[in-house]
Structure 1
Amino acid sequence: MQRERALSDYKTYRYFRPSELRNPHKQLASFFEEEDVESLKSEINDFFKTACDEAYEYGNSLRYPATHQNCFKLLELAYTLKNSNENFTLQNDHKLYRSSDAVFTQAFQENIELLFPLVHLRLLSAAEINDITFFLSEFFEYKSLYEWHELLDNLLRCANGDTVLEKIYNRSSHIILVKEYVEKLIEAMYLIYQTKSINYKSESTEGKKEALSAEIENAIIEYLRYFK
């Protein structure tokens, strides 16, 4: 059985320093304060399509390195949270608890408007949403952290035109499955952000507001002093 590397082992992580992952929720809150979940999915789709196509580039090719980096961030945060033994189970009265996998079909048939943030969770199953640990465990059983790093590096190489992904992995079905895993990872981390990490964003935002208010107050005082 392969031994999981300790958080202190710097080689495990390619983007974050171990000290930055002592509070992964703070990092996740900061991430989704800057990134939009649907834009991430769209960029991943373009990233994969370009990596698989010798002739065309999809989306904004200047964004490929940023997409690669965003995947690394979410990957390493997911790995840290998966190994944290934190309880991610949603109670059945939680607003994001899902009782059925048919929620989107039902909404379409009955013309029900799905509210934010539920509308962003389209790929995860009800069981995965209600306890995201199931998905995180499956994700890292499918590939180790090192293998995910290697795959993302190969994606960037292919998107830059060095080679084509199918020449590395040979099976198109494998690539389709990998793409779905990465898209589900985005949803999984967004779910954790909404249920756990968003409190850190609130604290950060309040801190910025207070700092801005103090700055404005000082500016007004200086302004009035100047015209005394």
Structure 2
Amino acid sequence: MSSRDNLRYHQLTKEQISNPHLFLEYFCRCDIDIETFRTEILQLIRSACSSKKYGNPEDYYYNHRCLLQFLEVAHIFFRRGKKFSIAANLTVCTPCTTDLSKYYHILINSHFRILSHEEIRNTNCFFADFFGYKSLNDWRFMFSRITEYAYRTQTIDEVLEDGAEMVFIKEYIEKLIEVIYLIDNTQSVIYLQNAASIN
């Protein structure tokens, strides 16, 4: 990527911009699990849409920064045209592929329940829809507004032109979380597939 691209991404290191999997490996495997992060972000959104505070308000800015990192990683994958997928290749039906298929099914039902089947099979479908709905900078602005209104008594719904837009925003953010963890899981799955093929 060019030095101009490095200026576009403020939340990631040069190494993470060059290889976003470095960020995913640290965040998704070491920092916080998908369901805990999902809950914290949904509490942040709920606080922005209410005069009450949900979750720990001291974590709002940290979670905002994490969302910005997810956004930048997603944009890098989108710009590079990278496609990730969790789908078992059942053309060769062995005990390993059957187990892998069960593993995928459990992952999808447990953690990737908002993503469509098409988005699970091709993450670019989600990225095209996500960045078609709002640009990178528009998403940044929206994440900042959500965090800002999480602290206020006035709700974000009151200042948006279309208050119902938050329903779509919430779904997009939840899908963003799922797709980032899905991409990280594809890296684990590659390891599992390679280990299974050795046996």
Shorter chain as normaliser: what TM range? 0.7 to 0.9
**Could you tell me whether the CA contact under 8 Å between 2:68 and 2:140 is conserved in 1?**
yes
> Would the alpha carbon gap of residues 6 and 145 (structure 1) be closer, same or farther in structure 2, given more than 3 Å must change?
farther
8 Å CA contact 2:16, 2:22 repeated in 1: no
How far does residue 156 in structure 1 lie from its aligned partner after superposition? 1.2
Distance apart, 1:168 and its partner CA: 2.7
Contact 1:29 1:198 in 2 (8 A): no
CA distance in structure 2 between the partners assigned to 1:40 and 1:7 by the alignment? 31
SS at structure 2 position matched to 1:88: coil
3-state SS, counterpart of residue 9 of structure 1:
helix
Q: Following the alignment from structure 2 to structure 1, what is the Cα–Cα distance between the partners of residues 188 and 74?
A: 13
Deviations 1:96-135 (A, max 9, x none): 69xxxxxxxxxxxxxxxx6346411110011110111100
Structure-2 residue corresponding to 1:106: none
Write the mapping of 1:51-62 to structure 2, written as runs, cut at 5 A: 51-54=48-51, 56-62=52-58
Name the amino acid aligned to 1:31: F
Distance 1:50 1:168 in 2: 15
Match status 1:35 vs 2:32 = yes
CA distance in 2 between counterparts of 1:12 and 1:134 reads 23
Structure 2-normalised TM-score?
A: 0.80
Identity of aligned residues (%): 28
Q: Which has the larger radius of gyration?
A: 1
Does the CA contact (< 8 Å) of 1:29 and 1:197 recur in 2?
Answer: no
**Is residue 192 from structure 1 mapped to residue 177 from structure 2 by the alignment?**
no
What's the offset of the Cα at 1:160?
Answer: 1.7
Q: Which residue of 2 aligns with 1:167?
A: 158
Aligned length: 181
Aligned to 1:218: none
| Equivalent position of 2:42 in the other structure | 45
Report how far residue 179 of structure 1 moved: 0.6
1:126 aligns to what? 117
Separation in 2 of the partners of 1:96 and 1:128? 17
Structure 1 stretches of 4+ moved >4 Å: 89-92, 197-200
* Distance (Å, rounded) in 2 between the aligned partners of 1:44 and 1:80: 22
* Cα drift, residue 41 of structure 1: 1.0
Q: Which residue of 2 aligns with 1:14?
A: 10
- d(CA) in 1 for partners of 2:138, 2:2: 17
CA distance in 1: counterparts of 2:189 and 2:18, whole angstroms: 17
For the aligned residue pairs, the C-alpha RMSD in angstroms reads 2.8
